[in-house]
Every structure is written in C-alpha cells, then in structure tokens.
Amino acid sequence: MKTMMIGVLTCIVCTIGVSGTAAEVPPDSIPRYRLEEIIVTAKRVVTPVEDLAFSVSILAEREIELSLANSSTDLAGSLPGVFIQRTGAFGRSDVNIRGLGSRGRRAVVLVDGHPERMALFDCTVTHSFLLHDVERVEVVRGPSSVIYGSGAMGGVMNIIPRRVTPEGELELRTGTGNFNTMLATGRAGRDWGSVDGVLSIDYRSSDGHLDNSAYEGFDAVGHVGVSLPHEMELTLSAKYFDGYKEEPLLLMASPDEVSDTWNDYRRCSADLFLEGGGEKTRYQGRYYRSFGEHEFSDGWHSRDATDGVTLHATVKPASSTELAVGADARRQWGELLDGQPDEWDKWEGGVYSTIEYAVADLFILSGGARYNRDEFAGSILCPSAGLIMIPREGTTVRANVSRGFRAPQLNELFMFPISNEDLTAETVWSYEIGVRQRVTGNAVVDLAAFTMRGEDLIEVLPNPSGPPPYLFQNGGSFEFRGVEAAVKASAGKCLSGSVSYAYLDTGRWTRGRPGSKLDLSLTLETGAGTVRLTGRRVDEYYASNDHQGEIDPYTLVGLYMETKPFSGLRLFAGVDNMLDERYALFVDLPGGEAGLYEMPGRSFIFGLKYGG
C-alpha cells in the first residue's frame, strides 16, 4: 500500500513536467522556474540560481503557507540533502546538511543573513525559528566558509523574513488539533513611503503525543525599514522567543521509567542592517546581537551573548567580471548561573574576497578565499573555486571545490574537565559536480554528486597524559559521498509538484544519518481552494556507527487543504502522517539522552486565516 502510493505520487509529479505544453497553456501564464529563480545566500547578493557553482534549494512563500511544519528548520527537511532530528512535532528540529549538523555547529542557520547561535556551545536553538514571519528559506549545500566563516561545513540555511507589502497588512491565524494543540498568529504592518514597519507574533502549545512531551512557545518579531538618500536602506529587526519543552522517554525505555527531562529557552536578537548602491556596486553593513538564558532539568542554567559585525561589497567593473570583498568579526560570551558561577569569552574574525569572470555565454569561472583568525585556534585559510559551463540554452553544468572549517568553541576549550585549550579548527574539503536542465518551459531538473573529506574533528578521546582520563582532541576524520536529484514542475496555472531524492554514503559514520531519502509534493490550486499532498520515504537508517542498530524505514504522507468561503477568509485543515506510520528518529539532545524517540502517529490540525 505505502509503496504503491509513493509510486503513484512519483508518476503524477513526473507527468507534470511533460504534460504542460505551450499549446495547452498561454506562455505568459506558465510558472517560470528557470532563469528568474534567484538566491541571496550563496553570495550575499541577489544571484540567479543557474549562475552558481553550488547546489542550492529554495522554499518559496506559498510552499511555506501550505506546510504542516511548526518551524522553518523542520520544513527544510523536505529538501534534498537535508535531514532533521526532532523528538516530536514541537521543540528542537536540528538541521543536518549532507550528514553534517551537530545542532547547528557544522551547518550554519542564518536569519536574514546573520547567525542565531547560543554562544557557549555555538549551537542553534532551532525551535525558535517559527514560520509566521518567513518569506522564503534558502539552503546552500556544501562548505560555505569562504563567505560565512566558522561552522559552515555542511552548508548554510538562510531564513528570510517577510517584509510589509506596499498596501499594508493585517493577518490573523488560529488553529487547533489533537494532543490539545493550539496555535495563534497575528501580523500587522504598514508602508508610509520612506518608512515601513511590521510586527508578527506567534503562540502555540501542545500536550504532545507522549507522556512528558508538552510544549509552549511564544515568538515576536518586528522590522522597521527606512529609505535613505543615495539608494540606501536601513533596516532594524528584533526578535524575542520563549519556549518550554518537555522531552519524552527513549523508545526502548523500561516501562517503570518516568521522564522528567525539560528545557526552557529564552532567546532575543537585534539586527541593524544598511544596504545601498546601484547596478554595478552594492555594499552592506550589519551589526547583530543574539543573547539568551537557558535552563535544563539537569540543573544547567546559563546566560550568553554574541555580538557580531559583517561588511560586504560587490563591484562589477565590467559586464563579464564581478568582485566581492568582505570582513566579519564576532565576540562570544557566556556564564553559568547555578552551581559554581563562571564565565568565558572568545573572539574570531576574518576577511574574504571572491571573483567571477564570464566568458561570453559559455563559461563562468569563480574563485575565492577567506583568511580567518580565532583567538585560541589561530589562523586558517579557506579557498574555493568553481566552474559553470553552458553547453546550450537551458543547460548548465557546474563543478566546485571548497574548504570549510569550524573553530573550537567555549565548551570545548574551557567549560568542562575534558576541555582542551590546545584545540585547532576542524576542516572539510568538498568536491562536487552537477547539472541543471530545463525540460520544456515549465520544469527543471537538478542533479549533483559530491565527495566530502573531513579532518581534525573534535572528539572526546582517551588522554595519554591524564588526568583527566578523557579529553577533547582533534582526532576524527570522515569521508562522505552522495548524489542528489530534484525535479520541480508545473502544468498550467493550477498544478505543480516536486520530487527530490538524496543518497548519502557516510562510510562507518552511520549514526543518525539516513542513507536514502525521497520527498514528493503535489499541489492543486483552483478558485475553490487548494489541496497539497506530500510524501517522504527514509531508508538505510541506523542508531549506531558501522551500520549497527538498524532503524525501521518509514513512509510518511501528509495532506493540506484550504478553501476561501469569503473574501479575505480562508479555512484550512491538515493531516500529518496520514497512514499512521509508527516510526522513530535518532536524536542527540542537549540536556537529554541520545537514542530513538517515537514520533507522532496520525495527527490533525484545523483552523482559519484572515487577511493575507
């Protein structure tokens, strides 16, 4: 039954790419996925996807609106090469890109271009990234440290917020579901010409699908934009999040065990961003501050802050050449508030430059390098190089080689008996080839193959000169290989779909890294309403390294429906895990236990939206 459903969905979506011909639909009504699809994350400036030597994926605003996910990172799990670790529908949803993640320490998560991390561990509090203020999500797969510095080993995910529309906005959304789930969202904004502002708030709570899995979270985000002379724009953004999450027992826990694990996160951030320039020159400057307070059931209580500055400029001295230079620096600070109080801090920064040169309409050559300096780990040089070939219209072939790194963080350097001040940076080299092909006028196919080799990974290893008997040391290495494929297509104005597949060979490092993932979506939009069907298949999944502790493969099907009975009012309903599949994910939680966690069965959500 489940295999048949996947086959049917695949056939339907693939049929879209060959059925929507120009004879059936006027050319100006065909959704245009190819040259007009753009991304800002790969180079910090707007760039057509086909001009990039990297593999990228984009989730647009409409895909976000029709999702059953509760966070931006959870939603990104539908993209090729991206896998999410979570203990339920709410709470943390940690991102792994091409097998690298470590709670955001080896795959960077950005909000509008700036990192949102907890300073002591340099990790990401992923359930603070809700969907009520998101216009699009962009993912760059593969090392991106030349532009984004430490941590961008597996790739970068950028959550781009919504800006107020010229006519102003007022939106309300409320819903309820099983497990006593409730959600409420409000958004209001206005454009006064040279000044615009928007405020968006979100509240959601749930008893959870298991004992001790309740969640309650509140999020508020505000943006103010000011247009300045000489084509400059200044944007001030602020965010506040407060989330409490209980974590259930492991799947294989003894029947007489009782879970009392919980975490309470309060995170704030502020961001001041200035951008200006014209067609040939663009410049950006940003100051950001991220801070918060964390409490865990095991007694952990800490406070932290990160202050950062980024500068970037892009110049086009000729139509065939683009130069970019940039610099960034950040200071991380944190302290323990319970037990024996203590505090730590560190700084790091870097400078980088990139260049692109186009040879007629046949090739684009690119290269770049970053010099990074960390207060304790010292200096590191990160290069990258890329080539794009355009053998014919609608076809681009790409190749790139890049180096990524992660500097040791405060927890590894100082905070525990096993910490080690002599650590150096982790590194990874990536080699990738890919092709992007437009099929007819309304479908695009993207293929990629890659190899990543990592060295000097920081691990807890026996200390030959102890005590202590164990110590953080640079001892780990890996070699990952993989292939990724994605198809996005549409038929006319109302039918669209996508299929993506990723295969990842991690050698012996199989713990929590699926070898095979297939994602499908099919959307039908008419005047009467919208129906979206999604599917996912995960296979070759293990709870331990060396292919040990095999986890049952699973198939998930979701359904979302929306109708407009009146102008401005939309009713929606969704079913997640429609086949009521019993499945588990491997998760390594901060303040909790690493192992298998049972996921929710069939669950429902109903509600209404006003405005938008």
Whole-number Å distance between alpha carbons of 181 and 600: 13
pLDDT value, residue 163: 86
Over residues 54-64, the pLDDT tens digits come to 999 999 988 99
Q: How far is CA 131 from CA 85, 128, 174, 439, 442, in A?
A: 18, 10, 14, 32, 28
Q: Which amino acid is present at 316?
A: K
Average pLDDT of the residues of the chain? 90
Predicted confidence at residue 475, as pLDDT, reads: 93
Domains and CATH numbers, the chain: 2-610 (2.40.170.20)
Report residue 36's pLDDT band, with 50, 70 and 90 as the boundaries. low
Instruction: Give the pairing of strands 82-86 and 155-161.
Output: unpaired
- What number is the average pLDDT over the span 321-328? 97
Question: In the 3-class helix/strand/coil scheme, how is 105-124 assigned residue by residue?
Answer: CCCEEEECCEECCECCCCEC
CB atoms within 10 A of CB 47: 18
pTM, two decimals, is 0.91
- Indicate the pLDDT class of residue 492, thresholds 50, 70 and 90: confident
- Model confidence over 518-529: pLDDT tens digits? 999 999 999 889
Residue 200 CB contacts under 8 Å (≥ 6 apart), including other chains: 132, 133, 162, 185, 186, 187, 220, 221, 222
Q: What is the pLDDT of residue 2?
A: 40
DSSP string, 374-414: ETTTEEEEEEEEEEEEEEETTEEEEEEEEEEEE---HIIII
Distance in angstroms (rounded) separating the CA atoms of residues 153 and 39: 19
The pLDDT value recorded for residue 272 is 98
**Greater pLDDT, 465 or 148:** 148
Listed range (3-7, 16-20, 217-221, 259-263) with the worst mean pLDDT: 16-20
The alpha-carbon radius of gyration of the chain (Å, integer) is 24
Contact between 370 and 381 (Cβ < 8 Å)? yes
d(CA 484, CA 466) in angstroms, rounded, equals: 45
Residue 567 has what pLDDT? 86
In terms of pLDDT, which residue wins out, 17 or 544?
544
User: Does residue 254 sit in helix, strand or coil?
Assistant: coil
Q: pLDDT class for 35, splitting at 50, 70, 90? A: very low
State the burial class of residue 278 (Cβ atoms within 10 Å of its Cβ: 0-12, 13-18, 19+): exposed
pLDDT per position as a tens digit, 570-589? 999 999 999 999 999 999 87
| pLDDT value at residue 20 | 35
CA nearest 5: which of 531, 575, 533, 497?
533
Beta bridge partners of 358: 364
Tens of pLDDT, residue by residue over 434-447, are 999 998 778 999 99
Element (H, E) at 7: helix 2-19
Amino acid 295 reads E
Residue 164 has pLDDT above 70, yes or no: yes
pLDDT tier for residue 127 given thresholds of 50, 70 and 90: confident
DSSP 258: -
The residue with greater pLDDT, 11 or 200, is 200
pLDDT category of residue 591 using cuts at 50, 70 and 90: low
Q: What is the pLDDT of residue 335?
A: 95
Lowest mean pLDDT among 32-41, 116-125, 376-385, 395-404: 32-41
Average pLDDT on 113-134 reads 91
- The per-residue pLDDT for range 528-555, each reduced to its tens digit, is 899 999 999 999 999 999 999 999 999 9
Whole-number Å distance between alpha carbons of 170 and 349: 41
pLDDT greater than 70 at residue 207: yes
Residues 6+ apart with CB under 8 A from 422: none
Q: Identify the pLDDT of residue 26.
A: 33
SS3 readout for 530-577: EEEEEEEEEECEECCCCCCCEECCEEEEEEEEEEEEECCEEEEEEEEC
Rounded (5°) CA angle 256-258-260: 170
